[in-house]
């Protein structure tokens, strides 16, 4: 490899201990190898430290001199081409090949240990990585089977299912439908968003569904005949709110408090009256099945207020007939 050293003295050393009476010349062309120049712009390697121009007519004659490889490399590494110095790297061109010696036979590798998989679940690879559990949990739910009969589905086959429209008064919805719809004999809330209306026979339910002027269209959407696998997907929940200042007794503030649980349907009229003011009881529809309770730190007008939210259960649950759809009294 030729490497340039700027501003280095332009000197040449004896190549491989040749005699002084056999001068070796090199051109100043940095891209050329040692050749016999034809011009006078040459440098001469001689016994004196000064340089003299010389025109060489005969080619260089190199004599074979016994020398070790290490000495040869040392001598060649001292050779300069103008400002480029020769670097000798024998290992790059002649890698050493160590002699092959007989070695002891390697022992046979031990057979790999086979893991026994007890079961396989339905989780994806990403879900397994995100799981915080160290061991997979077995699904120990009981599997039961039941085949429904025609008697089980008789009253369902003469029933209609519909979704409650927004702003419908759920407190009077049952009474209104049973009084106004012909041959309707039963009304049930199917969760908090749907209703199930049963008629005297299947013909009456089909006729009411096809009636474009039916009063049911004023309260319900997606009115259809009952079919298998229809079920409730949400529920009613009464929430008791304590610690809320009076300036927060409005739908916007209460909606912020309960927005993570569900949507507000109405309020209990027994706690929204002129004669008595106590904690607020709010009716919501929610998809959460667990009991609802929370302690909230509400920032109201730059003041922090602690508010308690608790679901009402048991005999203290207000009736749907007491629902009021406005905070106005």
Per-residue pLDDT reduced to its tens digit, 228-287: 889 999 999 999 999 888 888 888 899 999 989 999 998 886 765 555 566 788 999 999
Higher pLDDT, 230 or 95: 230
Label residue 78 by pLDDT band (50, 70, 90): confident
Q: Does residue 176 surpass a pLDDT of 90?
A: yes
Average pLDDT (21-29) is 47
Cα(190)–Cα(324) distance, rounded to whole angstroms?
Answer: 21
Task: Report whether 234 contacts 191 (CB < 8 A).
Answer: yes
Least confident range of 42-46, 202-206, 281-285: 42-46
Residues 192-206 as b or e (16 or more Cβ within 10 Å = b): bbbbbbbbeeeebbe
- Under 8 Å between Cβ of 312 and 318: yes
**Does the pLDDT at position 196 exceed 70?**
yes
Q: Give how far Cα 79 sits from Cα of 35, 75, 260, Å.
A: 15, 7, 84
Reported as a pLDDT band with limits 50, 70 and 90, residue 179 is: very high
Least confident of 13-27, 57-71, 220-234: 13-27
What global pTM score does this model have? 0.53
Mean pLDDT of 24-48: 46
- Quickly state the pLDDT bin for 313 (edges 50, 70, 90): confident
Q: How far apart are CA 97 and CA 142, in angstroms?
A: 71
Which two structure tokens, joined as six digits, stand for 68? 């070790």
Residue 137 banded pLDDT, cuts 50, 70, 90: low
User: Which tokens sit at 276?
Assistant: 């008595």
Q: What percent of the chain has pLDDT over 70?
A: 66
Q: Does residue 74 sit in helix, strand or coil?
A: helix
Burial class from Cβ neighbours inside 10 Å (0-12, 13-18, 19+) for residue 237 reads buried
Helix ranges, 47-167 (H)? 69-76, 90-93, 125-130, 150-153
pLDDT at 19: 42
pLDDT at 135 (0 to 100):
53
97: helix, strand or coil: coil
The overall average pLDDT reported for the chain is 76
Q: Are 56 and 87 in contact (CB under 8 A)?
A: no
Q: Is the dihedral of CA 65, 70, 71, 74 positive or negative?
A: positive
For the cut 60, the answer to whether the pLDDT of residue 36 exceeds it is: no
CA 213/CA 216 separation, integer angstroms = 8
Least Cα distance to 17 among 63, 53, 85, 58 occurs for 63
């Amino acid at each position: 490899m030729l490497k340039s050293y700027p501003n280095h003295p332009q000197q040449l050393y004896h190549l491989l201990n040749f005699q002084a009476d056999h001068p070796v010349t090199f051109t100043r062309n940095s891209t050329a190898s040692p050749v016999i120049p034809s011009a006078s712009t040459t440098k001469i390697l001689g016994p004196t430290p000064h340089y003299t121009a010389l025109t060489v007519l005969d080619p260089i004659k190199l004599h074979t001199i016994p020398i070790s490889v290490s000495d040869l490399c040392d001598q060649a590494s001292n050779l300069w081409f103008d400002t480029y110095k020769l670097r000798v790297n024998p290992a790059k061109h002649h890698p050493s090949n160590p002699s092959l010696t007989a070695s002891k036979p390697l022992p046979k590798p031990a057979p790999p240990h086979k893991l026994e998989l007890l079961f396989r679940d339905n989780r994806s690879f990403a879900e397994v990585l995100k799981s915080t559990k160290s061991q997979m949990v077995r699904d120990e739910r009981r599997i039961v089977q039941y085949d429904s009969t025609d008697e089980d589905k008789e009253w369902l086959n003469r029933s209609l299912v519909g979704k409650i429209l927004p702003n419908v008064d759920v407190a009077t919805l049952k009474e209104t439908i049973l009084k106004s719809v012909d041959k309707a004999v039963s009304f049930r809330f199917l969760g908090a968003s749907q209703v199930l209306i049963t008629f005297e026979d299947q013909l009456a339910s089909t006729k009411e569904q096809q009636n474009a002027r039916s009063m049911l269209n004023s309260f319900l959407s997606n009115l259809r005949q009952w079919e298998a696998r229809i079920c409730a997907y949400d529920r009613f929940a009464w929430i008791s709110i304590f610690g809320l200042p009076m300036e927060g007794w409005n739908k916007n503030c209460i909606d912020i408090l309960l927005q993570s649980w569900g949507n507000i349907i109405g309020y209990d009229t027994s706690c929204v009256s002129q004669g008595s003011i106590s904690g607020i009881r709010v009716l919501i529809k929610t998809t959460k099945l667990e009991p609802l309770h929370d302690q909230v730190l509400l920032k109201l007008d730059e003041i922090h207020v602690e508010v308690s939210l608790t679901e009402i259960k048991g005999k203290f649950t207000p009736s749907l007939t007491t629902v009021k759809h406005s905070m106005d009294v």
